[in-house]
Amino acid sequence: MDRRYLTVMAKTVGATLLGLTLTACQTTGTPQTASPPAQNNLPAAEISDPGILQFKINPSGVGAYYGWQMQITKAARNKGFKPFTTEQLSAGQTKEYTLWPDSYTVTVYRLGDLKYNGQIEIHPGETTVVYADYGLLSDNIVISRQIDPFRAHPELDTTAWRAPISTTYEPETLFAEREFRAEYTGPQNNGERVGEGTVDITRNGLPFAEILNAEITDEKITGDITYADGREVDGDYQNAGHQLTPGSTTKWPDGTVFTGSYTLFEPQDGELKMADGTIWQGPVRERKPFGQGRLTRWEGDWMDLPDGSVFPGQTGAFVCGGEMVAVGECYYYGGKKLSGPEELATLMERDRQIAAKAAAGKAAQEAATQSPRQPETGQAGCRNASGTFNDNTGNSTLRLDSPGQGSGNFISYTYGGAARYRFEIGFTFTTTPDSISVTYGNGVYSDAASGKVLQRMSAPSGTVPCRYDGTVLVFDGVEYRR
């Protein structure tokens, strides 16, 4: 008899004998799940290391040596695991997967027949091997955390393909609130974040901030944070409230500085020092005064504004004062300080007359150029518009699901060189005979060929002119044909 065959048979028998000592792992049923290994005696560096799961096919070429697949369907405790199934493997082939330590549900098939179903523990920094150890008469699955010389053959084994952790785990969403979204990528161990990771924060789908060496607790997120717009923040980020710690100071590259309270990362109420030295104390929106507060110029004089959003074009009488100025009223027109109430009254009357003349001229022009309008009924003009409409280029489509009011959808295709891009946004609407009021949802800008999302964005809602004759719909000046 061929000596090589006797050698292979001896290895197969040896493997089978070794397999008898691992019967708890060699079943197509569901074995008892082993308890997670104790972690208290492991240093943090080891706890935060990933492990390796290796799927190895017997290299002997004897018996059922092809059509093997391993499937991992679930992680017991970790978040973000992506289930996967290997391609069909043959004798000597190996696949390796990087996984965060946990207990995983694993099944092994050969040509669709179930050979193993059970839980496999992955430990930090260690390799766990799933051997497809087959013979002439029967197949056997062996789970081992040590290299088995009976199942290793350097001349027959092929190179192992190792999948990185990015293919087995997706980022964990920490929060998605307003226009912000934060995702964590980093080590896990049996459902707990360990060590340090990275937090990526986007705003309306665009990069906003990145936190390296991030440590996350129930109270806060700490680490080295870099903002896309160049701002610098002196303060921690509260994980529980999803906002910067009250009293944090934010400095922008243009010299603007804010200290106070925040909603997420944006100033809400406090002290805003502008690039020219002017200081606003009160509510803040979009890095500008908002609501009731006090404006102090760098010279020291101050002015109380009922609505800070009118700055720097404030017009009217305001309470003001300062170290060298008695408290009283001061008068402004378009942000320019006036000599007194008489000058303000003169300028306001001038504006009133100009506005009256402009309104009269516009009314006269409309009366001369427009044909008499027909009496409108409750269901006339744009109130009758519904269905699918295309523009003259064929690149844009507008859909209205019902006349009068309802839901709609807008799709438009554009080109950039050889690439084709698709923009889609949904909305709700109400109509009058000659206008349509639209409230937009979130729009998606994507690659038309692959469907990959490139950007998510919002669009301003409002009311625009509308005209409809039963065939042609004119929506905000653009013609669409039904």
Phi/psi for 289 (5° steps) reads -55, 145
- Give the whole-angstrom CA distance, residue 421 versus residue 399: 19
- Paired residues of 464 in beta bridges: 436
Phi/psi for 362 (5° steps) reads -65, -40
Tell me if 217 sits within 8 A of 192, measured CB to CB.
no
Tell me if 148 sits within 8 A of 141, measured CB to CB.
no
Question: Residue 137 has what pLDDT?
Answer: 62
**CB within 8 A of 68, min separation 6: which ones?**
55, 57, 88, 89, 90, 108, 109, 110, 132
Phi/psi for 436 (5° steps) reads -140, 130
The position carrying tokens 């004759």 is 469
CA-CA distances (angstroms) from residue 448 to 392, 424, 425?
20, 11, 15
CA-CA distances (angstroms) from residue 460 to 181, 201, 400, 437, 442?
21, 23, 19, 11, 10
Question: Residue 95 has what pLDDT?
Answer: 92
**Which residues does the chain have with pLDDT short of 50?**
1-40, 42, 44-45, 156-157, 372-378
Question: Residue 78 has what pLDDT?
Answer: 95
**CB within 8 A of 413, min separation 6: which ones?**
395, 396, 420, 421, 422, 423, 448
Give the closest residue to 23 by CA, choosing from 109, 116, 100. Answer: 116
Tell me if 219 sits within 8 A of 238, measured CB to CB.
yes
Phi/psi for 5 (5° steps) reads -65, -40
334-340, long-range: CB < 8 A, 24+ apart:
335/311
Question: Residue 135 has what pLDDT?
Answer: 66
Tell me the one-letter amino acid at 113: D
Question: Residue 448 has what pLDDT?
Answer: 83
Count other C-beta atoms under 10 Å from residue 329's C-beta: 12
- Give the whole-angstrom CA distance, residue 226 versus residue 149: 50
Return the ∠ at Cα 273 (arms to 301 and 207), rounded to 5°. 160
The structure's pTM equals: 0.58
